[in-house]
Amino acid sequence: MQNKVCTMTNLNKIKILPAHEAIKIAAGEVVERPSNIIKELVENSIDAGSTKITITVHQAGTSLIIITDNGCGMSADDAKLSVAQHATSKITTVHDLESITTFGFRGEALASINSVSKLSITTKTESDQTGTYIAWSFGNLIEESLRTHQTGTTIQIADLFENIPARKKFLKKNETEFRAIVTLFQALCLDYQSIHFQLYDEHKLHFNCPAVTKLIDRCAQLFDFNLYNKMIPLTELTNSLCSVSGIVSVPSYYRYDRNQIFIFVNNRWIKNIDITKAIMKGYAGQLPPQKFPAAAIFITLPSDQVDVNIHPKKKK
Ligand SMILES: Nc1ncnc2c1ncn2[C@@H]1O[C@H](COP(=O)(O)OP(=O)(O)OP(=O)(O)O)[C@@H](O)[C@H]1O
Ligand SMILES: [Mg+2]
């Protein structure tokens, strides 16, 4: 019988990675591409109670992402702490996860993003007279000063993955990355109708979506008129387990992929093949083969029935 050959050259030389290297590796779980970063930052803005959130991207977010919100802002001390690993204001113990109402809870997103980009935070709370500006370069603090800002926060991310060329190589073409940003933007707008969202591509306003009260009006802001005319609201269904509401396209409308099927569980955008199949089944064969509808489906469950902590991206 052949002996197993160990290919590790440094056998018996286990080392603990320095924190600044370990976090760059861990960052891959949260920060894969610009749209993941935008999702984390906008979710922070929503958690901060914002009613207006503006997203600006240059080169599909690979060279620059700016998110401005009018939420509660951070004190200078909190802003400095926010990029530390496991720094969160949202939970204190793991039991809090059973009744969590915020998107964030890991205290990981800003720390991860900070380790792979040039990050700056400008922020002001209602009670502070002046705002705070703090800038880091790939995890190293480079500036801290006072700066004028309205109540709320602006976070700027530049030069994503410049310090990890191998990761940068895995970014797709700018058009593909921008498409992922647009899909995320649509999901956020559908999910949070009471928030005014804007998306700028370089200096061009790509979407302007003031708050609305009806889902159909959000569809009108987001999709071409052709689709808006073909969406029908669902009658809300509630039983002892869950409630389901939403909007779906008519059978005569179809798309070539599943990208316009949006599913939300307790206001978290998720991807779920079983629910997607159930939606398709509802069309009872009226869609042509390999064609897909557009839909936004909202499922509400008791919070202790949902484990938000299955995956770092919180998408399952
Ligand atoms: N836009 C913002 N407005 C106000 N506070 C913010 C904002 N962004 C971040 N923070 C503060 O910084 C902390 C760290 O943010 P971060 O996204 O890293 O962690 P989190 O949201 O707590 O958890 P998760 O890693 O799951 O997102 C937050 O808990 C919050 O207190
Ligand atoms: Mg967060």
| Per-residue confidence band for 31, with pLDDT thresholds at 50, 70 and 90 | confident
Q: Check whether 188 has a pLDDT greater than 60.
A: yes
Q: Are residues 164 and 238 in the same domain?
A: no
Among 65-69, 78-82, 103-107, 263-267, the range scoring the smallest mean pLDDT is: 103-107
Q: Which two tokens stand for residue 26?
A: 């861990």
* Integer Cα distance of 180 and 11 in angstroms: 42
315 falls within a domain: no
CA 29 to chain centre: 13
152 falls within a domain: yes
Q: Are residues 50 and 197 in the same domain?
A: yes
What pLDDT does 164 receive?
Answer: 86
Residues lining ligand 1, Cβ inside 6 A: 40, 44-45, 48, 69, 71-74, 82, 87-90, 104-111, 153
Beta carbons of 152 and 71 less than 8 angstroms apart: yes
> Mean pLDDT across the stretch 167-186?
93
Tell me which residue has its CA closest to atom 29 in ligand 1: 88
Q: Give me the percent of the chain exceeding a pLDDT of 70.
A: 82
* Integer Cα distance of 25 and 111 in angstroms: 12
* Integer Cα distance of 305 and 241 in angstroms: 10
> Mean pLDDT across the stretch 144-150?
96
* Integer Cα distance of 285 and 255 in angstroms: 15
Closest CA to 136 of 20, 305, 286: 20
Distance 305 CA to ligand 1 centre (A): 24
Q: Check whether 64 has a pLDDT greater than 70.
A: yes
Domain of residue 251: give its range: 223-305
Q: Are residues 181 and 229 in the same domain?
A: no
Q: Strands 268-270, 196-201: parallel, antiparallel or unpaired by DSSP?
A: unpaired
Domain CATH for 292 = 3.30.230.10
Distance 1 CA to ligand 2 centre (A): 53
What type of residue is 259? N
User: Residues 6 or more apart from 21 whose CB is under 8 A from it?
Assistant: none
Distance 66 CA to ligand 2 centre (A): 16
* Integer Cα distance of 203 and 145 in angstroms: 27
pLDDT: which is higher, 65 or 25: 65
Q: Check whether 33 has a pLDDT greater than 60.
A: yes
What pLDDT does 135 receive?
Answer: 98
Q: Are residues 227 and 191 in the same domain?
A: no
Q: Check whether 25 has a pLDDT greater than 80.
A: no
> Mean pLDDT across the stretch 76-97?
77
Task: Among 184, 209, 234, give the residue marking a domain's end.
Answer: 209
* Integer Cα distance of 189 and 215 in angstroms: 10
Q: Are residues 30 and 158 in the same domain?
A: yes
Q: Which two tokens stand for residue 1?
A: 């019988």
| Per-residue confidence band for 88, with pLDDT thresholds at 50, 70 and 90 | confident
Q: Are residues 95 and 205 in the same domain?
A: yes
Closest CA to 281 of 301, 300, 295, 302: 295
81 falls within a domain: yes
* Integer Cα distance of 260 and 267 in angstroms: 17
> What is the C-alpha radius of gyration for the chain, rounded to an integer number of angstroms?
22
What pLDDT does 73 receive?
Answer: 97
Q: Check whether 314 has a pLDDT greater than 60.
A: no
